[in-house]
Structure 1
Amino acid sequence: MDHKSALAALPTERKAALQERSDLRGLLHLAGHVGLIVGFQLIIALRLPLWQLALLPLGILTVFLFTLSHECTHYTPFKSRWLNDALGHATSLPLMLPFTWFRYFHLAHHKHTNDPERDPELEHGPRPETWPQFLIYLSGWGYWRGMARTLWRNAFGSIDAPYLPARQHGTIRREARVLLALYALIGLSLLWSPLALWLWIVPVLIGQPFLRLYLLAEHGRCPPVANMLENSRTTYAGWPVRFIAWNMPFHAEHHSFPNVPFHKLPELNRDLAPLLQSTSPSYPAFAKDYADNLRP
């Protein structure tokens, strides 16, 4: 049974209940995530004892705001559309991820998931198959370089990706220019204060490998087929990972039914679990499996 047949088999009232959004649930989750970020930032800013140990958890929490941005592209973490837009744009700066551009990029990924010819996530090349490719991928070099090039192209070059509607080109260009201006100001601020270096730059650089591994598990080594129960992987991670990733380890469920908000995905998993074709018991288990099949 593919994902379309599985969803068609669900009762109408069940599907309606799964799609119920909540500002309260979204804001409570956001408060927990941002609260942890601010807590670690205070430890670093105040130079409390062993403050250097706070850099890694701060980096992981910051880069995993990506999962919130991702959810906001679907208008699902909050019931109010303006909240989804506001939080999506707010995450643009720390992630170097222009939100309007990303919304259309991501929707194209959903439409052509794991299609080597049309999935924009694969437009920069296939996923790593050798140890050197794997280590470079985990470093985050490809992400930072790719996003810098995307910002520059959106700001000053040609906006010609087929998934970007012409009516949004002006917004995408303005968005990129605003972000570049803000990064220039942050760069200038380093001349008189290293705060941005320790509260943002260093943490996200050392946190990015954890996000890369998490994202690789979503579709890595899944077959290039149309069935979302096969081309996307659900990873049965522990509560801390599910929390910072906004329940997106239930990724096959998300791809099968993108209108389901993050807090309803565990419920959808109970409906679809027997049908899932690509799963992993944990991220360490996925990493071991992936690494065992890498070429020298």
Structure 2
Amino acid sequence: MSAKLPSLSEVGTDLLAVSRWRTRVALVRPYAMIGVFAVVAWAGWWWLTPLVVFGVFVSVVTVTHDVVHRALGLTARQTEWALFFTGLVLLESGHAYRSTHLQHHRLFPSDEDPEGYPANLSLLGAVLYGPVFLARLWWWSWRRARGDRGLRTWLLAEAAMPVAALAGGALLWPVTPALLAYAVMAIVGSWVYPLLTVYLPHHDYGDEPLTQTRTLRGRVIPAIFLELTYHLEHHLYPQIPSHRLPELARRLDPHLSAAGVRPVRVI
């Protein structure tokens, strides 16, 4: 399945363009979803909260992904704060994610790729790996940051977030269960990362870039996941922002077809 893919300039550098409005929407959307959660919790519609938290996850993962790959036009300083504040929404370390995700893009598949490790597990193994996944990514990032005082400061601050949220939620329980409920759902929800973001896209990977991950095509599912289902396209051209991946996929279709790549069709 070896094939020569077009360069970014041949695909079209117009795909890199991001308006200020688009950047603002991407950065604000996770906090808007927090607002929705607060309203739903205040109204007592607890049955709706898992669906809202799912929306929080999708919005955070999408924007953090783009921030890590410098696809939103942010300055270096803005990027550092964006990693912190987007990670804060889900009580995760944005800086640990950047360290491990860029390593994933550089080396997958490799024993030196901690993010890609679940791709080598069984389906059940990927599920069971969930509770320790983010902690192991954080620890890997901490060890790699030896001598980098600034990065370690970010990592320590981000490691404190889930502890603070759980403690604050417990203290506020007599007033409202909302904070503790949200913190628990955010933490437990992150346990699906190894399965959804690594195992399913990458398991049974091949030896070449075109066979190391998959792409899902459709209208409904990609839209729900804010285009994160275009995993192959993202790995091939990671600097292209998420919202432009459908157009990238359209332009790559002749090349992928010639190489024998068959996208997975979903609704």
TM-score range for the pair, normalised by the shorter chain length: 0.7 to 0.9
Question: SS in structure 2 opposite 1:45?
Answer: helix
Of 228, 233, 249, the match for 2:229: 249
Equivalent residues in 2 for 1:199-210, closer than 5 Å: 199-202=182-185, 204-206=187-189, 208-209=191-192
- Alpha-carbon spacing, 1:171–1:244, altered in 2? closer, same or farther (3 Å): farther
Q: For 1:30 and 1:253, locate their aligned partners in 2 and report how far apart those are by CA, in whole Å.
A: 23
RMSD over aligned Cα atoms? 3.1
Q: For 2:178 and 2:204, locate their aligned partners in 1 and report how far apart those are by CA, in whole Å.
A: 40
Q: Contact (CA 8 Å) 1:152, 1:176: kept in 2 or not?
A: no
- Alpha-carbon spacing, 1:87–1:212, altered in 2? closer, same or farther (3 Å): farther
Q: For 1:262 and 1:23, locate their aligned partners in 2 and report how far apart those are by CA, in whole Å.
A: 15
Question: SS in structure 1 opposite 2:254?
Answer: helix
1:110 aligns with 2:105: yes
Equivalent residues in 2 for 1:124-139, closer than 5 Å: 126-129=120-123, 132-133=124-125, 137-138=126-127
1:282 aligns with 2:266: yes
Question: SS in structure 2 opposite 1:191?
Answer: helix
Corresponding residue for residue 175 of structure 1? 154
TM-score by length of 1: 0.72
Percent of pairs identical after alignment?
A: 20
1:145 aligns with 2:124: no
**Aligned length in residues:** 257
TM-score by length of 2: 0.79
Deviates more, 1:177-186 or 1:16-25: 177-186
Question: SS in structure 2 opposite 1:35?
Answer: helix
Q: Give ranges in structure 1 of 5+ residues lacking alignment.
A: 284-296
- Alpha-carbon spacing, 1:32–1:124, altered in 2? closer, same or farther (3 Å): closer
Question: SS in structure 2 opposite 1:258?
Answer: coil
Corresponding residue for residue 273 of structure 1? 253
Corresponding residue for residue 66 of structure 2? 71
Deviates more, 1:272-281 or 1:256-265: 272-281
1:143-167 Cα shifts (integer Å, max 9, x gaps)? 3323235546766xxx1xxxx4656
Q: Which letter maps to 1:279?
A: P
Corresponding residue for residue 49 of structure 2? 55
Corresponding residue for residue 239 of structure 2? 259
Per-residue deviation at 1:201? Answer: 1.5
Q: For 2:141 and 2:110, locate their aligned partners in 1 and report how far apart those are by CA, in whole Å.
A: 24
1:104-156 Cα shifts (integer Å, max 9, x gaps)? 2111111122x143433234672325xx43xxx34xx523323235546766x
1:121 aligns with 2:121: no
